[in-house]
């Protein structure tokens, strides 16, 4: 269970109404039962139920059961699309170990209104679901050109470009790759000015995800999977 509170030995956790309902009504836990908690920073902690009420409850942390598992230093930049598919992207990127999720506004981004709080909640749910102890940061939507203008010198960008061939040529195999980002464009493709800005950056490596043009959400899953396969993590 994710809690937005510090975790440590003897730390008392006050549950929200939703969490109390989930633990005591849905899971039918009672006083003394054990619960595993994480907050995205302190690894996994065992806690015991101190008080189980209808709409509230208290837990106390007993001991750490797993350290924080940091994912590789990989950011995902993507142009948001329709709401359900943007939700899917955040969920899958969390499962596939992206450390930071950065929605970008491009010239041809055509998306529903983005609720970052909802996307963050999806990332938390996905981390809970896959047993991770880390929750990726989800940034506010930023214009791509602005982001690229102050891009860190030492962070490479894997620009997924449907007009090329062979991701294997772009990525070194195995070992630690250092700081990277994967960039997936909008349904309408990148504007010429955006392509020129990307092509001029020494940090940018272009790669293909195969001969067929993938939907943006499929491309995210494919790119993160390929990147992970090359890193072996």
Binding site for ligand SAM (CB under 6 A): 160-162, 184-185, 187-189, 208-210, 212-216, 219
Q: Region of 33 please: left (phi>0), alpha (psi -120 to 50) or beta.
A: beta
Nearest distance from C-beta of residue 210 to ligand SAM, angstroms: 5
Q: Which is nearer to ligand SAM, 119 or 216 (CB)?
A: 216
56: buried, middle or exposed (CB in 10 Å: 19+, 13-18, 0-12)?
Answer: middle
- Count the residues in the chain: 233
**N-to-C CA span, the chain:** 24
Nearest distance from C-beta of residue 78 to ligand SAM, angstroms: 8
Sorted by sequence, the CB contacts under 8 Å of residue 64 that are 6+ apart come out as: 7, 42, 43, 44, 45, 46
Answer yes or no: are the C-beta atoms of 46 and 36 closer than 8 Å: yes
Is residue 32 helix, strand or coil?
Answer: coil
Q: Which is nearer to ligand SAM, 16 or 110 (CB)?
A: 110
Nearest distance from C-beta of residue 12 to ligand SAM, angstroms: 47
Nearest distance from C-beta of residue 198 to ligand SAM, angstroms: 11
Q: Which is nearer to ligand SAM, 57 or 185 (CB)?
A: 185
CA distance 189 to 23: 45
Nearest distance from C-beta of residue 223 to ligand SAM, angstroms: 7
């Amino acid at each position: 269970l994710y809690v937005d509170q510090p975790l440590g030995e003897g730390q008392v956790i006050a549950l929200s109404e939703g969490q109390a309902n989930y633990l005591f009504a849905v899971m039918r836990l009672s006083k003394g039962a054990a619960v595993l908690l994480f907050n995205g920073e302190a690894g996994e902690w065992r806690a015991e139920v101190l008080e189980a009420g209808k709409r509230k409850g208290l837990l106390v942390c007993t001991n750490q059961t797993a350290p924080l598992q940091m994912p590789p230093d990989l950011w995902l930049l993507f142009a948001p699309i329709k709401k359900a598919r943007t939700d899917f992207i955040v969920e899958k990127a969390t499962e596939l170990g992206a450390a930071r999720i950065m929605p970008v506004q491009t010239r041809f981004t055509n998306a529903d209104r983005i609720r970052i709080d909802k996307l963050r909640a999806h990332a938390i749910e996905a981390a809970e679901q896959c047993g991770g102890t880390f929750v990726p940061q989800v940034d506010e939507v930023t214009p791509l050109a602005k982001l690229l203008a102050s891009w860190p010198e030492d962070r490479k960008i894997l620009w997924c470009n449907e007009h090329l061939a062979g991701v294997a040529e772009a990525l070194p195999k195995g070992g630690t790759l250092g700081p990277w980002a994967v960039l997936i464009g909008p349904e309408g493709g990148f504007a010429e000015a955006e392509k020129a800005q990307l092509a001029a950056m020494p940090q940018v490596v272009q790669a293909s995800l195969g001969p067929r043009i993938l939907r943006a959400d499929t491309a995210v899953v494919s790119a993160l999977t390929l990147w992970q396969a090359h890193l072996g993590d």
